[in-house]
Amino acid sequence: MNPHSHPVPAPALAPRLVSAGAAPVGEMPELPGPLRRLIAAESAAEAPAAGVEPEDLQQAVWLRWLERVRTSSGTVPSAGWFRSAVRAETRPARRRISREVPLPAEGVAGTGADTAPYVPGEPAVLAAERRRILSAAVARLPGRCPALMRALLSREDLTYPEIARELGMSQGSLGPVRSRCLGCLRTMLTASDCGT
């Protein structure tokens, strides 16, 4: 029998409380069967919304009751007290669930279509630094090179005819201009030693 499949009855928990300075075992009142069933039913009803196991919730209510027995006259509280105790035990879990959102296995996706997926830690920082250095180097290129390189590096994945139309160039001149721009960019990045 799984020890977590049923709540631990008061006499089984009592020795632990006695060792912590609680009332002796003989002074522990027994819960009537209807109250045990009430705790089980209330826990089963409240647990799914709180994201906890019903058995764990029952255990917490038992402990709350035993703490009360230690500090009070030892009388068995009313059914309303047990209902309130179940809800009081689920309240922190419900608050936690409302704040916590599980992350998908593939990472956190951006909000826009052009946002890169989440990459954890240092690789993301290094990639952002490389993009910043590349963007700064592209901006310093001469002539038509900055506009051409931005079009080639665009996430829109433009075709050569679209780039030529956008820049007002003939499609045949894109290849040679692109070669000169890439050579110039390579020289700039090598000179600043930012390719590593």
pTM: 0.39
Residue 179 confidence class, pLDDT cut points 50, 70, 90: very high
In tens, the pLDDT along 124-178 reads 788 888 888 888 899 999 999 999 998 888 888 888 899 999 999 998 998 899 9
Residue 101: CB partners within 8 Å, gap ≥ 6? none
Residue 151: CB partners within 8 Å, gap ≥ 6? 158, 163, 166, 167
DSSP secondary structure code for residue 123 in this structure: H
Q: Which amino acid is at 151?
A: A
Q: For 46-162, where are the E strands, in sequence order?
A: none
E strand or H helix at 181, and its extent? helix 171-191
Residue 40 has pLDDT above 60, yes or no: yes
At the second CATH level, the architecture of 122-191 is Orthogonal Bundle (1.10)
